Amino acid sequence: MGPLLVVLCALAGGLRAVHDTLTHSPSALAKWGPFWDARTSWVLKYKNYYLDPKTPRFWGSTTLFVALTDAWHLSNLLSWACMDAALLVAGWQPYRWYAVAAIIARRIVFEPLYKFLRK
């Protein structure tokens, strides 16, 4: 299980680097296409992009499936998923339920706090 833990943490670190690059240097990966251009990719979740930024492009594109709309969201989701998987691998035997509880607690705290801080 040790090598799997290392691989998952390395993947999480790499994906976090992509996410932070998109956050702090939004044009750095734009050469790879609109999905990777954090300056404008946020509009990809809407039906007519800039023309109608209230109508979702598809069901869940602004909520449940937002990670499919741009690299910023996808890299964030995959980074957290790798860390969650690493936590499950690390705590699988004697403390597996604590690992599951920790993952759930992180999600329960994140969403309301994120919405509160954005107000």
Q: Where are the domains of the chain?
A: 2-117
Confidence check: pLDDT of 46 > 80: yes
- 96 φψ region: left (φ > 0), alpha (ψ -120 to 50), beta (else): alpha
Q: How confident is the model at residue 111 (pLDDT cuts 50, 70, 90)?
A: confident
pLDDT digits (tens, 9 = 90+) for 17-31: 999 999 999 899 999
